[in-house]
Structure 1
Amino acid sequence: MPRQDDLELALRLGDIADDITRHRFRALDLTIREKPDRTPVTDADTDVETAVRKALTSARPADAFAGEETGGSVTAGRTWLIDPIDGTKNFLRGVPVWATLIALLEDGRPTVGVISAPALYSRWWAAAGHGAWLRRGPAGSAPLPLRVSGNTRLADAYLSTTSTRTWDVFHSRAAYLRLAEECWEDRAFGDFLQHCMVAEGTLDIAAEPVVNPWDIAAVQVLVSEAGGLCTDLLGHSPHGGTGVLSANPQLHPLAVKVLSTAAGPGSV
């Protein structure tokens, strides 16, 4: 099946998700419940995943499906992996930094990714061999090709994570702080956005100590097609690995070296 067809389908799925999330964002009757891991889920999360699953069942009945809220698993062959709202805490608090993440995995490798953030009027997408793109503004706006930064020194690098608190539990807070100290500046843009900014070249490094498969598949292909590297914190596959690290190819090995030093769960 031509990859362009898969990308066009993923973009249509993004439209379906946006129609739901745009109308439920800041809704006064938004329903919220707490999952066993104490992370929140809203009715918008489940509605998006249900609608996308239904559309995929019709368009690609032979493909597998795995979603954060309704389950499924990545299998051999083709699997669509969905995070209906990445940044649910932002969504339920009325903060506009959240997105739907849609990825196609072929034999476990992400080959198509769409990250749609309608409250930011932004959509990023990529497909293996087709480059990485950003549309900022209304539908129909001209997309821009993406390329990671050309910075070669950590001393010039702009770094982001989501929360330093998670580094206390996963990997090593001390290792992250060492990396932050070696970089020019660090911020907590968080979640999907920081990896998209690495693909844009506005950030140089994004690091997370823990991720789920649906958090990373779409941004992995985006960063890769923009000329960057997206691995776990030790330079291996981010799927089932230790966190995730996105960076340009010059800074990536330097960041891995810092994060690998005396790293261990709970290290401070």
Structure 2
Amino acid sequence: MPVTRPTTQFLHQLAEVAEKRTLESYLESHHIDISTKPKDGFRFDPVTNVDRETELLLRELITQQYPDHAILGEEFGQSGQSHFQWVIDPIDGTRPFLCGLPVWGCLIGLLEQGRATMGIMSQPYTGDRFWSDGEQSWFSGRLGEKRIHTRQKVEIHQAILHTTSPESVDLYPDNHFNLLHDKTLMTRFGGECYAMAMLAAGHIDICVEYALQPYDIVALIPIIEHAGGVVTTLDGGRAENGGAVVASANARLHADVLNILNA
């Protein structure tokens, strides 16, 4: 049986499954079982029963629809080998999920021969979805549906900078994040995957994250790239494998950011 390219409709079908399960427990702390797992540089990296159960539901649907596709998930690792690989983070931002702050999201991305080509970020509580169909990037929510674009003319002194946590910055003491902070308009913290989506939508201009896994970034790469942005590792390579990752609104800004961080 030949390997089949997925449809955008299927991306949304997966998002609906993730939204339904996560919303059953969001803001219902008595329905959430919390544990922690090892992560370098962090004394607490939460995982819940909701993460695990949501990933299992997504895996089941993918296997039913595309049995020849491989899957990599945060909670249950890798299964299968294929030209296509789904990369799943059922709840990206488990900390804000536990705090009742709606900046977490369900990330579902697709690799084609190791390169991120399609992806969706869904925020179930707000009803926002950001996705790439493989060619363009889109937003849908309470204000309707539209194509999204990064800010193409913004320069470093006008740029809004985001990183999720100062803890991650401290993992790379030799980079010049503070210098980047001084050269930009303002810096914000705590946005998780929602900040990357806001970059694609033209509201944030630079996202720097120092400790990403593939399931943290694969879904977001095509959303940002097909909106006009750039995503690489800190050394300028492809970001599908995670690590220290920089996303910028345009190529000129991205070059400036990398020069500052690696000065």
Same fold (TM over 0.5): yes
**What amino acid is the match of 1:232?**
T
The superposition leaves residues 165-208 of structure 1 with CA deviations (integer Å, 9 ceiling, x where unpaired) of 21111x23651111010001111143211111110111111111
* Of 40-49 and 242-251, the range deviating more from structure 2: 242-251
Rounded Cα–Cα distance in structure 2 between residues aligned with 1:153 and 1:167: 23
CA contact (8 A) 1:112 1:127 kept: yes
Shift of 1:73: 5.9
Change (3 A) 1:109 1:174: closer
Distance of 1:135 and 1:240 partners within structure 2: 28
Q: How does 1:1-268 map to 2 (within 5 A)?
A: 5-27=6-28, 28-37=30-39, 38-72=44-78, 75=81, 77-129=83-135, 131-137=136-142, 142-169=144-171, 171-172=172-173, 175-240=176-241, 242-248=243-249, 249-261=251-263
Cα distance in structure 2, aligned partners of 1:193 and 1:232: 19
1:43 is displaced (CA, Å) by: 1.2
Q: CA deviation at 1:36?
A: 3.0
TM-score (norm 1): 0.90
CA deviation after TM superposition for structure 1 residue 75, in Å:
4.6
Give the Å deviation of 1:10: 1.3
Deviant stretches of 4+, over 4 Å: 73-76
| 1:239 shift after superposition | 2.8
After superposition, the C-alpha distances for 1:82-121 in whole angstroms (9 at most, x for unaligned) are 0000000111121121111001111111111010001122
Q: Is the 8 A contact 2:130 2:197 kept in 1?
A: yes
RMSD across aligned C-alpha pairs, in angstroms?
Answer: 1.8
Is the 1:157–1:205 Cα contact (8 Å) retained in structure 2? yes
Q: What letter corresponds to residue 258 of structure 1 in structure 2?
A: I
Mark the runs of 5 or more structure 2 residues left unpaired by the alignment.
none
The alignment partner of 2:78 has SS state of: coil
The amino acid across from 2:103 in the alignment is: V
Residue 250 of structure 1 aligns to a residue whose secondary structure is helix
Asked if 2 retains the 8 angstrom alpha-carbon contact of 1:152 and 1:250, the reply is no
Q: Quick check: 2:214–2:240 contact (8 Å CA) kept in 1?
A: yes
- Is the 2:26–2:100 contact (alpha carbons within 8 Å) kept by the matching residues of 1? yes
Given the superposition, is the C-alpha separation of residues 201 and 225 from structure 1 closer, same or farther in structure 2, using an over 3 Å criterion? same
Displacement of 1:241 in angstroms is: 5.6
Give me the whole-angstrom Cα distance separating, in 1, the residues matched to 2:57 and 2:195: 27
Higher strand share: 2
Shift of 1:6: 2.5
Count the aligned residue pairs: 255
Counterpart of 1:31, as a letter, is: D
Q: d(CA) in 1 for partners of 2:242 and 2:49?
A: 30
User: Structure 1 residue 233: deviation in Å?
Assistant: 1.7
Question: In the aligned structure 2, how far is the partner of 1:17 from the partner of 1:242?
Answer: 25
SS in 1 for 2:235: coil
Q: Quote how far apart the aligned CAs of 1:30 are.
A: 1.3
Contact 1:234 1:259 in 2 (8 A): no
From the superposition, tell whether residues 44 and 241 of structure 1 become closer, same or farther in structure 2 (CA, over 3 Å). Answer: closer
| Whole-Å separation in 1 of the counterparts to 2:80 and 2:239 | 14
Judged with a 3 Å threshold, the aligned counterparts in structure 2 of structure 1 residues 136 and 222 are, in CA distance, closer, same or farther, namely same
What is the deviation of 1:39? 1.1
What TM-score comes out, normalization by structure 2 length?
0.91
